[in-house]
Structure 1
Amino acid sequence: MAIYKRRPDGEEQPSTLGPLKVRLPFVHYKFEFPDWIQGAILCVVPMSITAIMLDVLGIPFEIAIAFVIINNFLYLLHTHFGDPSVVGWITAGIPLYVGFLSGFPEGEARIHALIALQAMVALIFLLMGLFRGADYLVKKVPLSLKAGILFGAGFAAVFGEFKDEGRVWSMPITILVGAALGFFMMFSKSAAPLRERYSFFRFVAQYGIAIPFAFAYLFGILIGEVSAPKIEWNIVPIPIGEILSNYSIFGIGLPPASYFLQALPLAIAAYIIAFGDILVVSSLLKRADEVRKDEKIVFSPARNSIIVSIRNFFQAIFMPFLGLSGPQWTAGQALVTTRYMNNPRKVVDSYWGGATGIFWGMSFALLLGPVVTLFQPGVAVGMTLTMLIQGYLCGYLAMELLKDTSTLEKGIAVIIGAVLVAKGATWGLGVGLVLWLLLEYDWTKKKGKDQDHKSIA
């Protein structure tokens, strides 16, 4: 039976198991071929984090790509349990995680530090989801502190790529050409009119950094900065035994208690960054609901947070993942919602087909040896493009937060950002709180009110 006959116009897509809202392929949503293709093309994005995992954690590529594949299949927990978010990493914090991990000796100590960090992030998301405290917590965090964390993440992203040993200088022409094209297509004033006027530019823009990456990668091979790929015609193996023995808590044991305490400030910073993604997905889905009146999309921040917590706990136990597990992937969310909104029901029956299809396509593409080996020499290019664009977005969002604030708050935010880059999240948050108490908080306010009450009496 076709799905559209089972859902009356204006109602929520059918599901099973009551409040769990389980949705299964071909039962509760249709196969959406375009979203599968988009996901397959964009597999270069999750692959790019293998470059950092090799550098920071010192793990072999075969293990790193296995982590990426498992992480991608975990994304499907959201759409299959009723959460419409197209999820991803807590990307903006990656430079901060790298700085934190670099403070530990190479090898098992860094794996333990990442386990501790991911477990603390999982715990925070679980508490926020169970007690619905996200809104309260983030509203109470001063704007200067939130903007400062974003500044720090943005500064760290760009600095990490351009420092003396940064990835930019390993293949400068390739990366800078790709960055120029990516920035032009995504942010240039000239690009918007071109997208409106020409279908070619609209086609390129809808794939985010995938097309700029592909162009830069091919260009790099032509000029000799990037090695030509050696294609392997196989299914990518996932060495479960090796992962459990060398990277899980069952193989290397639990981290020392001190690691969890050291990770807590950064886990709080990661959550504050991630909460911005929850606000973004809520806004995008609300807009989709307004445009497509035939289907009701229900987004629950509590449900989203609990599933994010489950993903982080799973990875902390079995395979610590450097990007951490976040509540939304903005680029993927925009792709899915845009296609859904721009097509009638007879073309895109349900939102869930696209939101799930993009990760089915991406996950299966990552299992194909020819796809992985084709892009393997260019993962550093993909990661650098991701970090540079993330740096731009973090800086932009930080300034948007501070748009209507005082010069005092702007100055505090810049100092917090600089300290975060130089000394890490513990120092950054500590300095931020001290500056807020010393400079922003009005210590005379309560006293003034008390005096007013006495005079009235």
Structure 2
Amino acid sequence: MAVIMALYFGKKREYGSEQPYILGPLKLRLPSIHYGMEFPDWIQGAILCVVPMSITAIMMDSLGIPFELAIAFVIINNFLYLLHTHFGDPSIAGWITAGIPLYVSFLAGFPEGDARIQALIALQLMVAFIFLFMGLFKGADTLVKKVPVSLKAGILLGAGMAAVYGQFAEGGRVWSMPITILTGAALGFFMMFSKTAAPLREKYGFFRYIAQFGIAVPFFIAYMFGIMIGEVTPPRIDWSFVSLPLGEIFATYSIFAVGMPPVEYFVQAFPLALAAYIIAFGDILVVNSLLKNADEVRKDEKLVFSPNRNSIICSIRNFFMGSFMPFLGLCGPQWTGGQVLVLNRYMHNSREQVDSYWGGATGLFWGMSIALMIGPIVTLFQPGVNIGMTLTMLIQGYICGYLAMTMLKTEGNLQKGIAAITGAVLASKGASWGLGVGIVLFLLLERNWVNLGRG
């Protein structure tokens, strides 16, 4: 019996096929059985714990949640990311990040205290319902396949421009420590995307070893440099473990503590929930394109991405967080920065070096989630949260930009023009305006109404 179980659980992947899994359609994969541990991704995740930590400041300001509880919200949310990679979704999940300023503005319209918590609960449950509807009725797959290229590229361009603009605008994170952040960005972009880095990886084992940690090394160098020049406050180390006061959280912030939001809260939240889904749809487009690129490079393994599966898992995460500990960043389909980090290491190594994508995809969040529970790590990197967040947002902007350009490479000027205007409006006026303008332009310019219906 033991031999049969070992063969069933631990069978090897055939060339060009999916990594083995169990439980049929659920596609459950278990560490050390269906894939190996990729410790470079664990280390990278541990260092990048500063990225999810950055939302604690916004939660403290907008919701009045103390840091000790806000970090617990972040830890639980981080562990929920593993639902994706353990149940057959290759996405490196994250927040619906670009909409955070919109959520903060929405919450500011409610009195501080329980009313504001209820407003966030209403928003997150509405987002959960939209994801569930799109996943169960295959709306996500249909959107990815049927949305015109001009609109897809416009959404990506807009998301990319918004990500970069938010960092460099007045009051943006770059200006909180400009020399430090720009140094980290320059190093990160050089190691991940430059023409020089690729031959260096092939020629020098040391550089190849350093490069596999993605932006973790550029972040660490910039962070230490920032401390040296005085832009970053030296950390004060706390040697205890981070506590998870779940009882206090449930008794203070859950739907069972503050009560079900009034119907009018759901009505007010609905337009913003739709806008949040539109933003999230851009992330679905990004992960779909990135994984297709990976399949072209690593032909030994097939990565199957289902927008419907992704949407259902996003729905589960939003329902859980919205009910028990409403999370200001919401639960989205992808973290572009993390996705690129894992895929870069996966694509730049052979099967002998990195057997399967799933080891790195799960390892990043295991490393990050565990690091968030270790007091010395959290307090060591806490002064550098702006560096980590800015690096990931700039990478998101870069990736969204080049994926949009790739989509438009074979298209005509009409589609390129629609994409440019859609992206600019989305970046400046928000997702609802951007999509609305894009649809109107598509119907007016790209749709041929004279020959409509002719075979």
Pairs within 5 Å for 1:8-157 = 8-10=11-13, 17=23, 19-25=25-31, 33-54=39-60, 59-80=65-86, 82-90=87-95, 94-105=97-108, 107=112, 111=117, 114-157=120-163
Residue 69 and residue 332 in structure 1: after superposition, are their counterparts in 2 closer, same or farther (change >3 A)? farther
Paired residue secondary structure (2:411): coil
Runs of 4+ in 1 over 6 A off after TM superposition: 1-4, 11-14
Q: Is the 8 A contact 1:288 1:337 kept in 2?
A: no
- Report whether the alignment pairs 1:427 with 2:436: no
- Kindly tell me the number of residue pairs found equivalent between the two proteins: 440
Aligned residues with identical type, % of pairs: 60
More deviation in 10-19 or 431-440?
Answer: 10-19
Cross-structure match for 1:272: 281
1:27-65 CA-to-partner distances (Å, cap 9, x unmatched) read 666655555444333433433444554566564433332
Matched AA of 1:260: A
- Report whether the alignment pairs 1:334 with 2:343: yes
Residue 175 and residue 129 in structure 1: after superposition, are their counterparts in 2 closer, same or farther (change >3 A)? same
- Report whether the alignment pairs 1:311 with 2:314: no
1:287-334 CA-to-partner distances (Å, cap 9, x unmatched) read 688426xxx876655433322221122122223334433444413541
Paired residue secondary structure (1:230): coil
Q: Is the 8 A contact 2:284 2:307 kept in 1?
A: no
Q: Is the 8 A contact 2:286 2:403 kept in 1?
A: no
Q: How far is 1:182 from its partner?
A: 1.3
Q: How far is 1:269 from its partner?
A: 1.3
Q: Is the 8 A contact 1:217 1:378 kept in 2?
A: yes
More deviation in 414-423 or 24-33?
Answer: 24-33
Q: Is the 8 A contact 2:92 2:361 kept in 1?
A: no
Q: Partners in 1 of 2:22 and 2:145 — Cα distance? A: 35
Residue 8 and residue 417 in structure 1: after superposition, are their counterparts in 2 closer, same or farther (change >3 A)? closer
- Report whether the alignment pairs 1:189 with 2:189: no
Q: Partners in 2 of 1:28 and 1:219 — Cα distance? A: 40
- Report whether the alignment pairs 1:291 with 2:297: no
Residue 370 and residue 341 in structure 1: after superposition, are their counterparts in 2 closer, same or farther (change >3 A)? same
Cross-structure match for 1:214: 220
- Report whether the alignment pairs 1:258 with 2:267: yes
Q: Partners in 2 of 1:212 and 1:381 — Cα distance? A: 10
Residue 86 and residue 415 in structure 1: after superposition, are their counterparts in 2 closer, same or farther (change >3 A)? closer
- Report whether the alignment pairs 1:400 with 2:406: yes
Q: How far is 1:16 from its partner?
A: 5.6
Q: Is the 8 A contact 1:175 1:384 kept in 2?
A: yes
Q: Partners in 2 of 1:203 and 1:25 — Cα distance? A: 23
Matched AA of 1:159: Y
Q: Is the 8 A contact 1:233 1:370 kept in 2?
A: yes
Length-normalised TM-score, structure 2 = 0.83
Residue 8 and residue 397 in structure 1: after superposition, are their counterparts in 2 closer, same or farther (change >3 A)? closer
In structure 1, stretches of 5+ residues that fail to align are none
Q: How far is 1:97 from its partner?
A: 3.3
Paired residue secondary structure (1:258): helix
Paired residue secondary structure (1:367): coil
Paired residue secondary structure (1:334): helix
Matched AA of 1:192: A
Pairs within 5 Å for 1:304-453 = 304-329=310-335, 330-334=339-343, 337-338=346-347, 341-343=350-352, 352-446=358-452, 449=454
Matched AA of 1:254: P
Q: Is the 8 A contact 1:281 1:333 kept in 2?
A: no
Q: How far is 1:188 from its partner?
A: 2.0
Matched AA of 2:155: I
1:270-296 CA-to-partner distances (Å, cap 9, x unmatched) read 24213224424653674688426xxx8
Paired residue secondary structure (1:445): coil
Q: How far is 1:378 from its partner?
A: 0.5
Q: Partners in 2 of 1:95 and 1:328 — Cα distance? A: 12
Q: Is the 8 A contact 1:340 1:354 kept in 2?
A: no
Paired residue secondary structure (1:233): coil
Q: Is the 8 A contact 1:195 1:201 kept in 2?
A: yes
Q: Partners in 1 of 2:188 and 2:170 — Cα distance? A: 23
